[in-house]
Amino acid sequence: MNVQTIMVIGAGQMGSGIAQVAAQAGFRVFLNDVQQAFVERGLATITKNLSRNVEKGKLSEAEKEAILGRLTLSTDLADASEADFVVEAVTENMAVKTQIFSKLDEVCPPHTVLASNTSSLPITEIAAVTKRPEKVIGMHFMNPVPVMKLVEIIRGLQTSDEVYQLTEDLSKQMSKVPVSVNDFPGFVSNRVLMPMLNEAIYCVYEGVATPEAIDEVMKLGMNHPMGPLQLADFIGLDTCLYIMEVLHEGFGDSKYRPCPLLRKYVKAGWLGKKSGRGFYVYS
C-alpha cells in the first residue's frame, strides 16, 4: 500500500512532534484536534522547532516552508476520509481512544491503517471497537518526537503482517528506529521504566534520601543522563501514576503498586514541570 496522506489526531506535545516528522519525511499531513486553538498551538510548536533547525544550519528556509506547506490544520475527524494512515496521539484514556477509533472506522476508507501512540494501553482492546482489527496497530513514539529515535511497534492480536511491515517502513521513512513489541501492559519502555521511577519515589517516601541525592546517584552511578525523579517530573506525575495503574491492573502484581506519595502529589496538583511543581520547583 502506498501511503501519501497521514492524519495525526491530537496536536499536543506528542501529536505535533509526530506531525512534524511525518511532514519532514515528505507526507501530506492533517494535524487534528478538537479546537482550532489547539491545532494552531501545535503548528506554532512545529514552526518554532523548524526555525531552530534553520538557525543551526540543518534546514534551509525553503525546506522549512515546504515542510509547513505539507501541513493542513483540522478540527473535524471526518477529514480522516482523506488519510491512508492515521496516528492517534490523544490523552492516555481508553474511553477517549475507543470513541475516536470507532468514529475513524466509520469515516476512513477501507484501506486506511489506524495506529495509536498509546504508551501503555492494550492495542487488541482498542482494535476491538473497529471492523478492521487487522489494520489497527500501536506506534509508540518517544518524547520529544523530533529528537528521539525509537518507535515501539505493537501488534494487536489480529494485526496483519502487511500492516506491521507498512508501519515499520513508515517509521524508517520518518528517520526512526522501529522495535517490535508484543501487546502487554506498558509494552517494554514503560514496563521497565515506570517501576524504576516508582521505586525512586518510594525512596523519597521512606526517607532513604532527598530527590537531589537519588537523582545524583542514578546519574553518576548508572550513567543516566537525567535522574528518575527529574524524569518523572518531565513526563508528568499524573501520567506516571496512570501508567503504574495500568501495569498494576493489567498484571495484578503488587510490584507495580503506585507509591502513595505519587498519589498524594497528583491529588495536590503537583504534576511536575507542567504545573510548576513536582519533586522539584520549576519557576
Q: Is 17 flagged in the annotation as binding?
A: no
- Cis omega (within 30 of 0) for bond into 144: yes
Cβ pair 237, 271 in contact under 8 A: yes
**Active-site residue, from 152, 168, 171, 198:** 152
Q: Is 92 flagged in the annotation as binding?
A: yes
**Active-site residue, from 16, 117, 119, 198:** 119
Q: Would you put residue 112 in left (φ > 0), alpha (ψ -120 to 50) or beta? A: beta
**Active-site residue, from 16, 32, 190, 198:** 190
Q: Provide the Cα torsion 153, 29, 18, 87; round to 10°.
A: -40
C-alpha cell at 257: 503498586
- Whether 53 is catalytic is no
Q: Residue 134: what residue type?
A: E
Q: Is 33 flagged in the annotation as binding?
A: yes
Q: Is 97 flagged in the annotation as binding?
A: yes
- Whether 119 is catalytic is yes
Q: Is 13 flagged in the annotation as binding?
A: yes
- Whether 152 is catalytic is yes
Q: Is 35 flagged in the annotation as binding?
A: no
Q: Is 15 flagged in the annotation as binding?
A: yes
Cβ pair 108, 136 in contact under 8 A: no
Sheet containing 150-155: which strands, arranged edge to edge?
Answer: 71-74, 28-32, 5-9, 85-88, 113-116, 136-141, 150-155, 177-182
**Active-site residue, from 117, 140, 168, 198:** 140
- Whether 198 is catalytic is no
Q: Is 149 flagged in the annotation as binding?
A: no
**Residue 51: which of 146, 124, 134 has the closest Cα?**
146
Q: Is 62 flagged in the annotation as binding?
A: no
Q: Is 276 flagged in the annotation as binding?
A: no
Annotated binding site for NAD(+): 10-15, 33, 92, 97, 119, 143, 274
Active-site residues, by number, are 119, 140, 152, 190
Q: Which residues are annotated as a binding site?
A: 10-15, 33, 92, 97, 119, 143, 274
